[in-house]
Amino acid sequence: MKHLIFLVAVLMINGSLVFAQNSLQLNIHHKLGTDAFSTNVTTQNNLGEQLYFTRLDYYISGISVIHDGGQETIIPDHYILVKAPKVVAEDLGSYNINQVEAIHFYIGVDEAHNHLDPSTYPETHPLAHQNPTMHWGWAGGYRFGAIEGYAGPNLNQGFNLHGLGDVNYFKTEISVAASAENNQIMINLDADYTRVLENISVAAGLVEHGEENEAKQTIENFRDFVFSASGVVSTITDLEIDEIKIFPNPISSNTELILENVPIGISEVSLTNTLGVLVGNWELENGRLIVPNLDNGFYLLNFHNKNKIITSKKLIVK
């Protein structure tokens, strides 16, 4: 009995059981409404103004995960530079987490790092110098978001909105449902970038850089409107999604990929590369598909229900 009590005590931290280590991955699916995001594709904002984006870059930092009955785990010193449509499939590290309930993050760079010298970072670091630049200068710090494009009846009115400033470091909170499978947890978010221009008129052209006005409003719109849990479909349970298996993985080009435990209701599977470009699309019939001739690297295999991606799994081609 004493040994049992000791074991339970060892497995408890702050009153909660210690879970197995699982790796966390954050996937952001870039959208224009319900369609996949692409630059130079015409869309419209909620004001009915026709527009297209030529640049959509922003920082994510201050990430934390709510899990297993309301516990919070902070992801330390992790910065993501999102450059849509480049795929975001970000490894957040391994933690004692089994069931994710929400993800919290900020758009921009925290004050402690916002005014540091970008040249002190390795060139592959998100906070290093970028081209085009994401750094405003010593006083202003980093651009939290850089939104550029054209609008108007003839799509010839340029808009350019760069939001920044410590006062605009806003927290975003998204409820999600993601659980461990094969020691990995996939957190899937949709990002509808038509909503970054929610209630912002760009039809006559607009240039606003700084901490105020429409530049600030874009950062508020990221917080309030852009992000949502991906693939919330009531007819397919989280348990069914977790049971999906793909093998082999890694896989070679022009070989057969086998899918098992795919729930009824998933009728389509797509494959996208690291730039968000569609490289494969299949109507799902017998749970088997042939991977096309692809360069080595990692891809996202996306499972669709009712024209929404309900989950994505990393596929390695080598």
- Does residue 4 register a pLDDT over 50? no
Residue 238 has pLDDT above 70, yes or no: no
Whole-number Cα distances in Å, 203 to 123, 221, 225: 37, 18, 20
Q: Spell out the domain ranges in the chain.
A: 13-229, 238-317
Q: Which of 154, 159, 145 is nearest to 54 (CA)?
A: 159
Please tell me the predicted confidence (pLDDT) of residue 234: 39
On whether the CB atoms of residues 292 and 277 are closer than 8 A, the answer is no
The correct answer on CATH 2.60.40.1930 for the domain covering 238-317 is: yes
How much is the pLDDT for 231?
Answer: 62
Is the pLDDT at 16 greater than 50? The verdict is no
In this prediction the pTM is 0.73
The mean predicted confidence, pLDDT, of the chain is 88
What is the pLDDT averaged over residues 54-81?
A: 97
| Separation CA 312–CA 310 (nearest Å) | 7
Residue 116: predicted pLDDT:
96
Alpha-carbon gap, residue 107 to 109, rounded angstroms? 7
Give the list of residues 6+ apart from residue 4 with CB closer than 8 angstroms, or none: none
Question: What is the 3-state secondary structure of 1-33?
Answer: CHHHHHHHHHCEECCEECCCEEEEEEEEEEEEC
Supply the pLDDT for residue 171.
97
- The tens digit of pLDDT for each residue in 78-102 reads 999 999 988 888 999 999 999 999 9
DSSP collapsed to 3 states, the chain: CHHHHHHHHHCEECCEECCCEEEEEEEEEEEECCEECCCCCCEECCCCCEEEEEEEEEEEEEEEEEECCCEEEECCCCCEEEECCCCEEEEEEEEECCEEEEEEEEECCCHHHHCCCHHHCCCCCCCCCCCCCCEEECCCEEEEEEEEEEECCCCCEEEEEEEECHHHCEEEEEEEEEECECCEEEEEEEEEHHHHHCCCCCCCCEEEEECCHHHHHHHHHHHHHHEEECCCCCCCCHHHHHCCEEECCCECCCCEEEEECCCCCCCEEEEECCCCCEEEEEECCCCEEECCCCCCEEEEEEEEECCEEEEEEEEEEC
- How many other C-beta atoms lie within 10 A of the C-beta of residue 298? 14
In this predicted structure, the answer to whether residue 46 has a pLDDT above a threshold of 70 is yes
Q: What is the pLDDT of residue 275?
A: 77
pLDDT at 288 over 50: yes
DSSP 8-state secondary structure symbol assigned to residue 211:
S
